[in-house]
Chain A
């Protein structure tokens, strides 16, 4: 399996990433997006959870969520390119799909619901 190297700023990495192994069928998190940042060209989101979760033996309410393949596909199905700050998101894992290539980890399948306040469409420019 190819080695991956992550580089970034300390501020961006202040919240721990949710690893792929943490996700199981039925697990769900509800969060608000606080920060959007890139690492090696891939989008990641610093989020504040509604309910704290346990990661590596610690209870945290601020985590980072990376754009895995299943996550990105769920976003594309929802017709949403990327998350923005202040988006309210419910992310649920409903299963996993084994990879066709040997040696690759299975893809986690997600269901996503994003609530976003759309200013541009509903309020005219002069009234904002």
Chain B
């Protein structure tokens, strides 16, 4: 029997327990939910709320946490304890800063480790913004090029540096610059951005280094030009034969594909900084090999007309003499007027719905902290009870010599 929806503020009579549907029962043997009126009271209800996108975020966080766990274990195994600790505490410690308007701001401290997925995403965001602004400014068509080299059993910094040098040689060739070429060959590549990556193939037990390149210039590569580009790459590297060229596209609001144009989504594949560490995170030797190979290597670089795009990002880190607009009071403050107030841990802060953090309001703790540690104005001396012996009791004053009998005042009264 179906129970009607409970109107607000009213009680309904209890519904008899509905049986399960015969056969193919669901709910893992769960009892039907119903409310009960008893002498103690009516059972209360519980409300569950959720959205599909919330679960996407939750599962993504879980995967990240599991990956960070594996990387931390691997780093500890190869005696990189400092890095392991920084990675484990990333986002769990907060820097407290008192602004001139009185607000205490908290910001999570980041580890900035190469393999940290959260820091990589934060590092990539300003770069993606800059590159997208630069792409939209010029309005020239864009393409996505992937250059690969044969897999290597051991990843070293020499492999990475050779790959970068070979790409620099490719940029000086005629197929790239279109020098002394017919007009039908197409326009030269004016500039672009490239990123260096290396993934681990667990089946073949080898590394796969490659370069992703965003190139600006030619609307379309002809078949002959593409074949020549492939031949040049083969000649420079000596053994690499695969490269892939795709026109970049973005999807308009109406769902239409517009080729030759970029958007944030398209740039995410190029500038993500995120290493696909899930493939090798559980093997400490591979993690160590990867970190040694990419030490002091700039993983994202610009060339040609895109030079200077990243310099503006480095300048935005926060100069002490610079003013910034406070998001709390709306006023402008100097960075040097802000005072550091130490570090806060995860149990002292709480996250707001917009993703920012604030100190948790703990009234009792703050009251205790604000009261000075001084004794009260009255001083209580400890009471020490005096123990009296049970033998003699001394009376004050003289004992009467004789017993005196006093008359009963109420004698004869009825």
Instruction: List chain A positions with a Cβ less than 8 A from chain B.
Output: 8-9, 11-12, 30, 32, 34-39, 43-46, 48, 50, 70-71, 73-88, 94, 97, 107-119, 121-124, 127-128
Contact = CB atoms under 8 A, between A and B. Distances in A.
Given A74-B55, A77-B54, A88 B5 contact: yes
Contacts of A114: 47-49
- Give the most central of B2, B28, B52: most A CB within 10 Å: B52
Given A36-B26, A43-B26, A74-B55, A119 B35 contact: yes
B30 A82 contact: yes
Given A37-B21, A86-B15, A119 B36 contact: yes
Contacts of B51: 74, 77, 94, 109-112
Prevailing SS type, chain B contact patch: loop
A44 B41 CA distance: 33
A79 B21 contact: no
- Give the most central of B45, B47, B53: most A CB within 10 Å: B53
A122 B44 contact: yes
Nearest to B14: A117
Contacts of A82: 26-28, 30
Contacts of B4: 32
Contacts of A9: 23-24
A81 B22 CA distance: 21
Nearest to A36: B26
Contacts, number: 152
B56 interface: yes
Contacts of B26: 36-38, 43-45, 82
Contacts of B35: 117, 119
B43 to A, nearest CB: 5
B28 to A, nearest CB: 7
B55 A77 contact: yes
B53 A86 contact: no
Given A109-B53, A111-B49, 5 more contacts: A35-B21, A77-B58, A82-B27, A116-B46, A117-B35
Nearest to A123: B43
B2 A38 contact: no
Nearest to B58: A77
Contacts of B45: 115-118
B2 to A, nearest CB: 5
Contacts of A35: 21
A127 B40 contact: yes
Contact of A80 (B20, B24, B50): B50
A25 B243 CA distance: 42
Nearest to A45: B26
A112 to B, nearest CB: 6
Contacts of B41: 122-123
20 contacts: A32-B3, A34-B2, A34-B18, A36-B25, A43-B27, A50-B5, A78-B49, A82-B26, A82-B27, A84-B33, A85-B33, A112-B50, A113-B48, A114-B47, A116-B45, A118-B45, A118-B46, A122-B43, A123-B40, A127-B39
B282 to A, nearest CB: 25
B6 interface: yes
B204 interface: no
Contacts of A77: 50-52, 54-55, 58
Contact of B43 (A11, A32, A108, A119): A119
Contacts of B140: none
A76 B20 contact: no
A76 B50 contact: yes
Top 4 A-B pairs, shortest CB-CB distance: A78-B50, A77-B50, A36-B26, A117-B35
Given A74-B51, A127-B40, A37 B24 contact: yes
A73 B55 contact: yes
A8 B33 CA distance: 25
Interface in B40-96: 40-41, 43-56, 58
B34 interface: yes
Nearest to B15: A86
Nearest to A44: B26
A73 B52 contact: yes
Nearest to B56: A73
A71 B214 CA distance: 39
Nearest to B3: A86
Contact of B27 (A30, A36, A73, A74): A36
B409 interface: no
B47 to A, nearest CB: 5
A36 B48 contact: no
A48 B5 CA distance: 10
A127 B24 CA distance: 32
A35 B20 CA distance: 7
B32 A118 contact: no
A77 B49 CA distance: 8
